[in-house]
Structure 1
Amino acid sequence: MKLKMYFLMLALGVCGAAMQSCDDDDDNLKVPEKLQSAFSQKYPEASPKWKTRGNYYIADFQDQNYESEAWFTFDAVWLMTETDLPYAALPEAVKNAFQNSEYRSWRPDDVDMIERESMEPVYVLEVEQGSREMDLYYNAEGILIKAVEDSEDDSEDYLPVELPEGVKNFLQEKYAASEIVETDREHGQFEVDIIHDGVAKKVLFDNNGNWLSTSWEISPDTLPEAVKTAIQQAINDNYVGYEADDEPGMVETPDGNYYRIELEAEDGREVILKIREDGTLLK
């Protein structure tokens, strides 16, 4: 019995070590010639060290003295390259945008430049304030794409999501000359962040690729007078003590457009109002 247990534990230990090695650097890892060729075509001057992670090959290398990781499929298809940058290496437009943003008092901690096939480069700036951490996504022109709570450092979150052809065609037709900067899939929906006419917009599709909505932030000064009146009326009638957030949103849908207004009370309670251009309050 003891002998059987010994061999069982030995086998488990070997398997565990083998699985762990899949996520570790291995200077002796031999990769297919097709994969090495794909890397060399993209980075002819670099000398990579290969490792595997899940269903991906990852090449660690130096790109202009910066540490980089190039991700490939097992079929030697390049997916993305993540490069660690110092804050000083950010484009001036990104630094200026950050220094003039609501996060300007936060401490910059880490910077990643993400390059992906058929997508614009994105700069992810991790900032800290006390126990809070935020990831700020910018394009090279300094347009803030999104700001999300930083949960964990997982490069797989940067991997692009393959979009259905229907989604690609819709974006080309409705938002001509737009630039795709982020793709994601959550809760059965495709989420695509684009830059359209110099504005960051979030486009949602259902699991079948049908368009659900497009939203973006606007200036309070651009709200129609009928919408401003409806906001004040809602506060007077039902939300005394609430104040409208200074970042209203515009939302396009197949059933018509509306303005998204967030009301917030001093105790932190929040209410979302949806108002048509003519001041009609949606339920």
Structure 2
Amino acid sequence: MKTTLVTTLILLTTTLAFSSCKDNGYTPPKNVVSAFKVKYPSAKRVEWEVKNTYQVAEFHIGFTEAEAWFDNNGQWVMTESNVKYSSLPVVIRNSFESGEYGKWKVEDVDKLERSGMETIYIIEAELGEQEVALHYLENGTLVKTLMDNDGRGYQPESAPQAVLQFIQQKYPQANIVEIDQDKGLLKIDIIDQQIMKEVVFNHQNQWVVTTWEVPHNNVPANVMNVLKTSSYANYRIDDIDYEERADGSLVYIFEVKQGNREFDVTIDANHLKIISATPQN
């Protein structure tokens, strides 16, 4: 019991000391401070703390509150700043107001700038007890919707160098939008020549598949003919995805519906045949 109590006190003391760096006038290494001053020369009321090994500065520029993250080498990685809704790009406001959540009450708006990635604007809105966080590109494209947003802070995102090199080689004009881990897979959203694509890698950082949505009129006639001459010819097409797979296959996935029956019909574009038809629950 005594050992446990002493250990607990030590852990508590350490935690308090770590979390109170900012309150105690913590100052990061000189190279970090210098990098911050170069990037934000007009910053006022600067306070520093350590978050997950990053050196983080909370500061003001005019009436804007912001938080900038640097690594220990003085490299800037991310800045999160508060934005007034009225100051958002018009295309983002139009996209929000004409969208599914346009009638919801806007609670907060953040601008997220990250090294090597697209700038994201996040609108947090609520309706009653429901909450949502909507992630937009600067051109107004909605790239992510998170329900029941819990107000968590945003963390710097990174991917293995091998993954970044692959994307640069395969999609040289692309910019990274989001990086996510999901069930052992690394999923990276990119915008490539104005098209949003999801590039998926396995746990060994090997490319698995790239998927993106395509409009009806971009599907080759011979592929569309496979669907039209199948048992799904009279089904309504809701969505169409295109996949480039690591095994070299190219497929179109049609989400089709007839009454209460829904299927994902996958057509091999090379061999012009249906390879699967998966019912949707």
Where 1:209 maps in the other structure, the secondary structure is: coil
Contact 2:83 2:109 in 1 (8 A): yes
Match of 1:212 among 201, 208, 213: 208
Q: Partner letter of residue 175 of structure 1?
A: Y
Contact 1:52 1:58 in 2 (8 A): yes
1:127 corresponds to which residue? 125
Contact 1:191 1:205 in 2 (8 A): yes
Shift of the 74–191 alpha-carbon distance from structure 1 to 2, 3 Å rule, reads: same
1:86 corresponds to which residue? 84
Consecutive unaligned residues in structure 2, runs of 5 or more: 277-281
Tell which deviates more after alignment, 137-146 or 23-32.
23-32
For the pair 1:275 / 2:267, whether they are aligned, the reply is yes
Q: Alpha-carbon deviations, 1:148-206, whole Å to 9, x = none?
A: 335433324x41213323x3333233223222222233433332221112121111122
Where 1:176 maps in the other structure, the secondary structure is: coil
* Corresponding pairs, count: 271
Shift of the 180–130 alpha-carbon distance from structure 1 to 2, 3 Å rule, reads: same
2:102 corresponds to which residue? 104
Measure, in 2, the Cα distance between the counterparts of 1:22 and 1:266: 59
Where 2:95 maps in the other structure, the secondary structure is: helix
Q: Partner letter of residue 248 of structure 1?
A: I
Displacement after TM superposition at 1:100 (Å): 3.1
Measure, in 1, the Cα distance between the counterparts of 2:225 and 2:131: 34
Match of 2:72 among 66, 74, 78: 74
Contact 1:143 1:199 in 2 (8 A): no
Measure, in 1, the Cα distance between the counterparts of 2:86 and 2:24: 31
2:36 corresponds to which residue? 39
Shift of the 92–107 alpha-carbon distance from structure 1 to 2, 3 Å rule, reads: same
Q: Partner letter of residue 138 of structure 1?
A: Y
Where 1:101 maps in the other structure, the secondary structure is: coil
Contact 1:144 1:200 in 2 (8 A): no
Measure, in 2, the Cα distance between the counterparts of 1:265 and 1:197: 34
Matches within 5 A, 1:190-269: 190-224=186-220, 226-227=223-224, 230=227, 233-235=230-232, 244-245=237-238, 247-254=239-246, 255-263=248-256
For the pair 1:176 / 2:172, whether they are aligned, the reply is yes
Of Structure 1 and Structure 2, the greater helix share is in: 1
Displacement after TM superposition at 1:60 (Å): 0.6
Measure, in 2, the Cα distance between the counterparts of 1:271 and 1:51: 52
Match of 2:160 among 150, 160, 163: 163
Where 1:248 maps in the other structure, the secondary structure is: strand
Displacement after TM superposition at 1:265 (Å): 8.2
Measure, in 1, the Cα distance between the counterparts of 2:258 and 2:11: 55
Measure, in 1, the Cα distance between the counterparts of 2:225 and 2:140: 30
Shift of the 134–49 alpha-carbon distance from structure 1 to 2, 3 Å rule, reads: same
Displacement after TM superposition at 1:68 (Å): 0.8
Of Structure 1 and Structure 2, the greater strand share is in: 2
CA RMSD of aligned residues (A): 3.2
Measure, in 2, the Cα distance between the counterparts of 1:153 and 1:209: 31
Q: Alpha-carbon deviations, 1:76-122, whole Å to 9, x = none?
A: 33221111212112111211222333433443332221111122211
TM-score normalised over the length of structure 1: 0.79
Shift of the 26–231 alpha-carbon distance from structure 1 to 2, 3 Å rule, reads: farther
Displacement after TM superposition at 1:271 (Å): 4.3
Measure, in 1, the Cα distance between the counterparts of 2:191 and 2:220: 24
Aligned sequence identity (%): 28
Tell which deviates more after alignment, 195-204 or 119-128.
119-128
Q: Partner letter of residue 97 of structure 1?
A: S
